Chains A and B, each alone.
Chain A
């Protein structure tokens, strides 16, 4: 049962990720990206990482994609305004990306990962809120506090960048 859900979610996430980069309308791209994030949340639930699944939906699909949608509607972007790249550039991009995929798959195809999983000491509950919270507030307390400073810096930076300045060229 779990493997069928895995294959379905993999298929759906790859298709929607392709639609993100190939759809002409930016709003459609955002909606397909939200679909991709929901598929990845499904993967997290399959891997028993419930906390990350919830955070992925709240932070990515909720906050970040709403920010993207807001900016797209704020800038009033339409599909006919975007200049296209030439066919040769597109072909070169797809070929180089495909070559990277080929190299990675060929290098990792025979890698043996079965020794990673030790059934004797396996704990399936590590992805739950209680366990992750304990780790976060004991081993990773300093990075957690520094993340709040990072958010403050990001907020000040966004306000600084978004502010209109006196000598600036505005059409």
Chain B
């Protein structure tokens, strides 16, 4: 057992919860405000990273490695998701000549 890292001694865990909540909310606002499909996709990445930070903080504060392994798997799944998602966006651009999600509103019906 080594010394407890300084940030765990001085910063309460609540601050990490607030930080990742704020990052998650910024991602949600980004999804709702923008119409560019690429920016919406980046906002989703931002939300994923907020969750990653929360998992890592809990894992470090509890000194339980399972949380950090989960973060590793989330990163792997995010990489796979990005390849497929960007391929879909390229296909949308090829068919409609724009990446505006408003054009795709007929997918609702």
Contacts and interface: CB of A to CB of B under 8 A. Distances in A.
Interface of A: 1-3, 5-6, 10, 13-14, 17-18, 20-22, 26, 29-30, 33, 36-37, 40, 43-44, 46-49, 51-52, 55-56, 59-60, 63-64, 67-68, 71-72, 74-75, 77, 81-85, 89-90, 92-94, 96-98, 100-101, 104-105, 108-109, 111, 113-114, 116-117, 119, 121-127, 131-132, 135-136, 139-140, 143, 147, 150-151, 153-155, 157-158, 161-162, 168-171
Given A100-B25, A101-B22, A126-B63, A46 B75 contact: no
Interface of B: 1-15, 17-19, 21-23, 25-30, 32-36, 38-39, 41-43, 45-46, 49, 52-53, 56-66, 68-69, 71-73, 75-84, 86-91, 93-95, 97-100, 102
Contacts of A63: 79
Contact of A125 (B2, B27, B61, B93): B2
Contacts, number: 262
A51 B72 CA distance: 9
